Chain A
Amino acid sequence: MPYLQIDHASKSFPSHTGEGQVCIFNDVTIKIEQGEFVTVIGHSGCGKSTLLNIIAGLDTASEGGVILEGKEVVGPGLDRMVVFQNFSLMPWMTVFENIALAVRSAYPDWSQTQVADHVNKYIALVGLKGAETKRPTALSGGMKQRVGLARAFSIEPKVLLLDEPFAQIDALTRGVIQEELIQMWNASRNTVFMVTHDVDEAILLSDRILLMTNGPSARVGEIVEVSIPRPRSRESIIEHPHYYKIRNHVIHFLVRHAAHVGRGSGESGAGRSGDAPVLVRFS
């Protein structure tokens, strides 16, 4: 039994013509072990963010479901914290208050000082010391997402859900925050489910990369194992012989195959039968 399992999940919306349903993704099964960092990459519209919201409990699957530690996920909860693409910080609260809101909810019987100490620890961890009393408006995109990460890590969730967390951050800052994320994750080792468009980011951070085919009726087409040992850094990772192999493979899939594999025709490559995703490992 895996730690976190997305079990035969499908999602359909009523089509805009009013007749029938549009299937976003169909019969997706993903198994994630405890402490694993899994990333989903796919084109826009393949339902990867919807999938993340279903794990978070903010959305429900039309069929199938999510199992965490042997129990079915019903609704949102403190054990599955999301880091949002648009940060989703409360603009009327300061940096400190935003994180404290989360900490107080996760640890309701803590005293004020305990909460303050915990919040300050995570503010220091993301290098935002001195910005505690600032409001999100006064922060750059990178700083906002640092607050988002601090808020997520501060409640020590079982599963961390990252929804394109660095998409709205400039490329230079993105690299820095990715390394900060690695450091925080090394210390906490939460199970992470990330959704992204950025192939380099996926290789740098994850243990496995799930490649989704194009919607409608998207599914997990391939699972690429990132066979690059940790600790990884942006600088050193590109030296590894597997780096470009993985990168090229992923991009190749997204450009060439994502549109074709989804139809379930199984025309490309031997052993690609129907729905089971192909495992890819470079050695």
Chain B
Amino acid sequence: MSAETVVSEDPPVDNETGSSRSARKPTKGRMMVGQAADSPWMITVFLAVLFLLGWHLATLRGAFDGTGLTEEQLQMMEFNGDIVRAPDGTYLWNPEKEKVKGIPGPLAVMEKAREELSDAFVIKGTNDHGIGYLVFYTVSRFGAGFLAASAVAVVLGVFLGLNKVLFKAVNPFIQILKPISPLAWMPLLLYTVKDPKWTAILVVFMAALWPTLATTAFGVNSLRKDYLHVAAILQLSWPKRLFKVILPGAAPTIVNGLRISFGSALVAVVPAEMLLGELGVGYLSWIEWNNLDISGVIFAILVVGCVGVILDSGFNKLAGLVTYQE
């Protein structure tokens, strides 16, 4: 608006620039809107900056100000570990105690992240493996449980989906077992297999099994009759019918089930590690809590998020290969 006012106030000295400016203006405006709609990364960045800034300001603590306190009070605070005396004789907040006072700011978390990432592949002790190792442990634990569950669930699901009577007979069991939190199985699993390593994988397995099983059976069962009719007319052999018609036809539904399983397995792996004390990113969060290192806890949470995003994008790539549009 202001630019237009300027143009109208000034006498049109240079006709060419004036006209070209007014002609270009609307296109430019439209392009900006279009860009924002297509890829609103600027809004994302803005929100991130806003959040970090808010976080920083909310967790900011002023420097220690000793004015108005008697020498005795100061000595008592120092004795309690609230403050420390700097070499120049002034008092500062005790940096060690700061760590567990309130929520650490973004700078503290970034410092912690830098520290952890710089020795990502260093093993310092039995329970102190670098973050790179922890991510690897979690991903492989998740992968083993999820893949095993998916294989079992798809095979069983196809079998049940093809046999309507059996599906109806077995469905009540699936419906009862499906809503049970996979963690509820953990004591029983631990008691049975007597090995936390396998228990953690089995918890992931239990989390990933039911959604895929139920949706696969449903997808195969409700496959459009037309496809089966074509297969029947063409007298396709059973293996051909299964691999050329039934599985590809039910693939989008099966992938949806796998996606739900994927999510619930990812949710289950973190508490499984915490409760079983198996090294991984979920365990990292817990051990940092035991260390009273809140920056470490926040860092661990962020790592869990990043691992989820990476696994999820990998899954979506795979899913894109087998789905089709009706």
A residues in contact (CB < 8 Å) with B: 56-58, 75-78, 80-82, 84, 86, 88, 90-93, 101-102, 105-106, 135, 137, 155
**Number of residue pairs spanning A and B whose beta carbons lie under 8 angstroms apart:** 58
Interface residues of B in 272-288 (CB under 8 A from A): none
| Residues of B close to A106: CB separation below 8 A | 234
CA of A88 to CA of B227, assembled, Å:
6
List residues of B (287-326) whose CB comes within 8 Å of A's CBs.
324-326
Query: Is B229 in contact with A92, judged by CB distance below 8 angstroms?
Result: no
Known contacts A101-B244, A137-B324, A137-B325: A88-B234 contact under CB 8 Å: no
Complex CA–CA separation, A17 to B236 (angstroms):
38
Closest chain-A Cβ to B322's Cβ sits at a distance in Å of 8
Q: Tell me the bound Cα distance from A88 to B235 in angstroms.
A: 16
Q: Is the CB of A92 within 8 A of B249?
A: yes
| Residues of B participating in the A interface, judged by any CB pair closer than 8 Å | 226-227, 229-230, 232-236, 244-245, 248-249, 251, 324-326
- Report yes or no: B249 in contact with A90, Cβ–Cβ below 8 A: yes
Q: Which residues of B contact A90 (CB under 8 A)?
A: 227, 230, 244-245, 248-249
Greatest chain B CB density within 10 A among A76, A82, A84, A106 is at A76
How many whole Å from B180's CB to the nearest CB in chain A?
34
Contact A58 B229 (CB under 8 A): yes
Task: Write out the residue numbers on chain A whose beta carbons fall within 8 Å of the beta carbon of B245.
Answer: 90
Residue numbers in B under 8 Å from A135 (CB-CB): 324-325
A58 and B251 CA atoms in complex are apart in Å by 25
- Contacts A76-B233, A77-B235, A90-B245 known; list 8 others, CB within 8 Å: A57-B233, A76-B229, A78-B235, A84-B230, A88-B226, A90-B249, A92-B324, A155-B234
Q: How far is the CA of A57 from the CA of B326 in the complex (A)?
A: 26
Residue pair B234, A101 in contact (C-beta under 8 Å): yes
Bound CA–CA A149/B263 (angstroms): 44
Q: Identify the closest chain B residue to A152 (Cβ).
A: B233
Min Cβ gap A265→B in Å is 37
Query: Are B234 and A92 in touch, CB under 8 angstroms?
Result: no
Max count, chain A CB within 10 A of own CB: residue among B229, B251, B325: B229
B233 touching A91, Cβ below 8 Å? no
State A185–B261 Cα separation when bound (angstroms).
Answer: 51
CB neighbours of A81 from chain B (8 A): 233
Of the candidates A80, A92, A105, which one forms a contact with B236 in the assembled complex, judged by CB atoms under 8 Å apart?
A105
Query: What's the Cα separation between A82 and B228 when bound, in Å?
Result: 13
- Specify which chain B residues have a CB less than 8 angstroms from the CB of A82 in the assembled complex: 229-230, 233
Which residue of A56, A88, A135, A155 has the most chain B CB atoms within 10 A of its CB atom? A88
CB-based contact A105/B235 at 8 Å? yes
Shortest beta-carbon distance from B185 to chain A in Å: 36
Contact A58 B324 (CB under 8 A): no
How many Å from the CB of A53 to the closest CB on chain B? 8
Q: Is the CB of A88 within 8 A of B230?
A: yes
Residues of A within 8 A of B325 (CB): 91, 135, 137
Q: Are A76 and B226 in contact (CB under 8 A)?
A: no
Residue picked from B233, B244, B326, most chain A C-beta under 10 Å:
B233
Q: Are B227 and A137 in contact (CB under 8 A)?
A: no
A92→B248 contact, CB < 8 A: yes
User: Do residues B324 and A56 form an inter-chain contact, with CB atoms below 8 A?
Assistant: no
> A57: which B residues are within 8 A, CB to CB?
232-233
> In whole angstroms, what is the CA distance A57 to B234 when docked?
12
Q: How far is the CA of A92 from the CA of B236 in the complex (A)?
A: 17
Query: Smallest Cβ distance from B251 to chain A, in angstroms?
Result: 7
A57 to B232, CA, bound (A): 9
Among A80, A92, A93, which residue has its beta carbon within 8 angstroms of that of B233? A80
A155 vs B244: C-alpha distance in the bound complex, in angstroms?
Answer: 18
List A contacts of B229 (CB < 8 A): 56, 58, 76, 82, 84, 88
| Alpha-carbon distance between A102 and B244 when the two chains are bound, in angstroms | 12
Pairwise interchain contact A84-B233, C-beta atoms closer than 8 A: no
Contact of B234 with A78 in the complex, beta carbons under 8 Å = yes
Task: Offer 21 A-B interface pairs, CB within 8 angstroms, sorted by A.
Answer: A56-B233, A58-B229, A58-B233, A76-B232, A76-B233, A76-B235, A77-B235, A78-B234, A78-B235, A88-B229, A88-B230, A90-B230, A90-B244, A91-B326, A92-B248, A92-B251, A101-B234, A102-B234, A135-B325, A137-B324, A155-B234
A57 to B248, CA, bound (A): 25
B249 → A minimal CB distance (Å): 7
A86 to B227, CA, bound (A): 11
Who on chain A is nearest to B326 by CB? A91
Q: Specify which chain A residues have a CB less than 8 angstroms from the CB of B226 in the assembled complex.
A: 84, 86, 88
Complex Cα–Cα for A91 and B223 (A): 12
Complex: how many Å from CA A224 to CA B318? 57
Q: How far is the CA of A105 from the CA of B245 in the complex (A)?
A: 13
**Closest Cβ of chain B: how far from A77's Cβ, in Å?**
6
Rounded to whole angstroms, the CA-CA distance of A82 and B234 in the bound complex is 10
Q: Which 7 A-B residue pairs are closest in the complex by CB-CB distance? A: A88-B226, A105-B234, A92-B324, A76-B232, A92-B248, A137-B325, A76-B233
Least CB distance from A8 to B in Å reads: 24
Q: Report the separation of the CA atoms of residues A67 and B252 in the bound assembly, to the nearest whole angstrom.
A: 40
Q: Is the CB of B232 within 8 A of A91?
A: no
How far is B107's CA from A242's CA once the two chains are assembled, in angstroms?
A: 92
CB of B232 within 8 A of CB of A58, answer: yes
Q: Is the CB of B233 within 8 A of A77?
A: yes
Across-interface contacts of A137 in B (CB, < 8 A): 324-326
Question: Which A residues are CB-close (under 8 A) to B227?
Answer: 88, 90
Residues on A with C-beta less than 8 A from B236 are: 101, 105
